Amino acid sequence: MGCIESLKYEIILRDASFTECRDYIRSSCREYVDVDPGFKIFDKHIIGVPPISIGFEGDVIIFPFTKPCYGTFLMRIEDHDEAERIRKSASRKKK
Amino acid sequence: MTNEQVHKEKSAVLVLGCPQVPVQTGIALYLISALRKKGVRTVIAGNRAARTLVEVSDPERHYVGEVMDIDRYIGEIAETKRAFDYHFIFIHNDAGVSYAATVQAITGKTVVALIYGEHFQEIAGMITFPCEKIAAKAVHNPMPLKNKLDEVLPWVVSNL
């Protein structure tokens, strides 16, 4: 997972589909943004079928992370600066 | 126009998925051979296991040229450091669909999805973005997918 692997993360869903991750974020997070594939999060280009939803719980970021052999993980990572950067740079805000 | 511009070599990237379905490596080498005959230079992008299988299968590098990590490939096309004429995405699971959608969204090009495995129809049905689908129920026997590829590849190389 590169630099994401070195962060303190929590896995919410394992071997999920991209639609399961999007549905979880949209139904569970009071705040979320939609981004396009290739959007950078923790210095990695996000993989997925657009629109890709990224959720927030304060400084906690909830986002899908896809690996070829392991499918998609839905992850939680707390990072104030990255959460603020995503909020500012994501084009479409929801809720 | 210079002679070099007239004969500019086209390039294709083969984006390999998890190599858990046996046909992937054989079809990748077959596709490299077929594209080379059409004058297309190929690059392989994949995770370590997928790349290693291809490299071990062609130790003298008769077919395999440049090989790169799949994350580096995504990064380089996203940051427009690299561009390819054709993107062939090997898909047998949900993650493969996500990679294909990502490549299509980043490049704006019609990608070529090679869909195989036990659940190929279900996987093909998940693809709703612009895409040329080549799909067959191929798990251990590569022939159904090879035959589909033979039918479609001349059109793909001429039209995409």
Alpha-carbon gap: A47 to the closest alpha carbon of chain B (Å):
6
The b-or-e profile of B136-148 (16+ CB within 10 A means b, else e) is bebbeebebbbeb
CB within 8 Å: A72 and B129: no
pLDDT for B17-64, tens place per residue? 999 999 999 999 999 999 999 999 999 999 999 999 999 999 999 999
Which residue does chain A place closest to B129, by CA atoms?
A49
Q: Does A2 touch chain B (CB under 8 A)?
A: yes
CB within 8 Å: A48 and B94: no
Cβ–Cβ < 8 Å for A67, B47: yes
**Cβ neighbours around A87 below 10 Å, total:** 14
Residues of chain A contacting residue B47, judged by C-beta atoms under 8 Å apart: 67-69
Domain boundaries, chain B: 10-139
Alpha-carbon gap: B94 to the closest alpha carbon of chain A (Å):
6
**Cβ neighbours around A88 below 10 Å, total:** 8
Name the residue type at position A43: D
ipTM: 0.88
H or E stretch including B21? none
CATH topology of domain B10-139: Rossmann fold (3.40.50)
Scanning the structure block, which residue is given the tokens 């379905």?
B21
CB within 8 Å: A69 and B49: yes
CB within 8 Å: A69 and B47: yes
CB within 8 Å: B98 and A66: yes
pLDDT for B82-138, tens place per residue? 999 999 999 999 999 999 999 999 999 999 999 999 999 999 999 999 999 999 999
Bridge partners for A2 per DSSP:
none
SS3 A92: strand
What's the average model confidence in pLDDT over A72-92? 91
How far is Cα A18 from Cα B95, in angstroms, rounded to an integer?
8
B104-113: long-range pairs with CB below 8 Å, 24+: B104/B129, B104/B130, B104/B131, B105/A36, B105/A37, B105/A38, B105/A50, B105/B129, B106/A37, B106/A38, B106/B74, B106/B77, B106/B78, B107/B77, B107/B83, B109/B160, B110/B160, B111/B87, B112/B86, B112/B87, B112/B88, B112/B156, B112/B160, B113/B89
Alpha-carbon gap: A17 to the closest alpha carbon of chain B (Å):
6
- The H-assigned helical ranges of B10-131 are 23-37, 48-57, 70-78, 94-107, 120-125
How far is Cα B160 from Cα B104, in angstroms, rounded to an integer?
13
Is a pLDDT exceeding 90 seen at residue B2? no
Is a pLDDT exceeding 60 seen at residue A61? yes
Residues of chain A contacting residue B71, judged by C-beta atoms under 8 Å apart: 2, 44-45
Residues of chain B contacting residue A2, judged by C-beta atoms under 8 Å apart: 71
SS3 A20: helix
pLDDT at A4: 76
Least confident among A43-57, A64-78, B4-18, B139-153 = B4-18
Name the residue type at position A36: D
Q: Does A91 touch chain B (CB under 8 A)?
A: no
CB within 8 Å: B105 and A37: yes
Reported residue count of chain B is: 160
How far is Cα B17 from Cα B9, in angstroms, rounded to an integer?
26
